[in-house]
Amino acid sequence: MVELGSGAERRVADYRLSRYACYLIVQNGAPSKPVIANGQTYFAVQTRRQELADEACLGQPTEDARRLMLRGEIAEHNKALTSAARKAGVESTLDYAIFQDHGYKGLYGGLGARDIHATKRLKKSQKILDHMGSTELAANLFRATQTEDKLRRDNVRGKRHANETHREVGAKVRQTIAEIGGTMPEKLPTPAKSIKQIEKEQRALKNDVEPT
């Protein structure tokens, strides 16, 4: 029931619209009306979000999508690297931190994890791998996979030998980058967004594009 100008009431039909019907009405309405203007802005934003989601699904990943993929692969391969290092004699948490530091020093021309952390101007709680672009992540992924393979293939034994192996592999990856004219990892820019921020945005995007 709606109230008329005379104070009387009249029954009118009420309609429940589908999302698609709302879209058609908004897109063909007069943008001079605030509700139509807001609706057109909303659907324009949602369309762009869906386009970005489709790009990732259709094999055309954005830089953020590549970073997420590579960061996930590094996390998985680091588990295998940890296992190989442990078998070689790298047992304690401190031992493994030193082992990882040797790999970074080989790849970053002498810079250890603490140096890289400082170069990127990160907070103490922030992880350096979460603040690397896709090119830098790819170099570190190659370092990790090749070190694991060499530790197992050469049956490396002893913490010192394992550390030197990691440094050597990192240095070889650095040499390869130099030979092909690439940018050294410590010279690559630090992305504005961290992996954690991208993951948060992806979750929000997923919630927005899921049908209700």
Per-residue pLDDT, 3: 86
32-65 burial code (b ≥16 CB/10 A, e <16) = eeeebeebeeeeeeeeebeebbeebeeeeeeebb
Q: What is the pLDDT of residues 86-96, one digit of tens each?
A: 999 999 999 99
State yes or no: pLDDT of 165 exceeds 60: yes
pLDDT in tens, 61-110: 689 988 999 999 999 999 999 999 999 999 999 999 999 999 999 999 99
Nearest partner of 172 among 194, 202, 145, judged by Cα:
145
Please state, rounded to an integer, the average pLDDT across all residues of the chain.
90
- Name the band, by pLDDT with cuts 50, 70 and 90, for residue 42: confident
Domain boundaries, the chain: 2-57, 63-203
pLDDT at 95: 96
Query: Is 177's pLDDT higher than 90?
Result: yes
- Tell me: pLDDT of 208 over 70: no
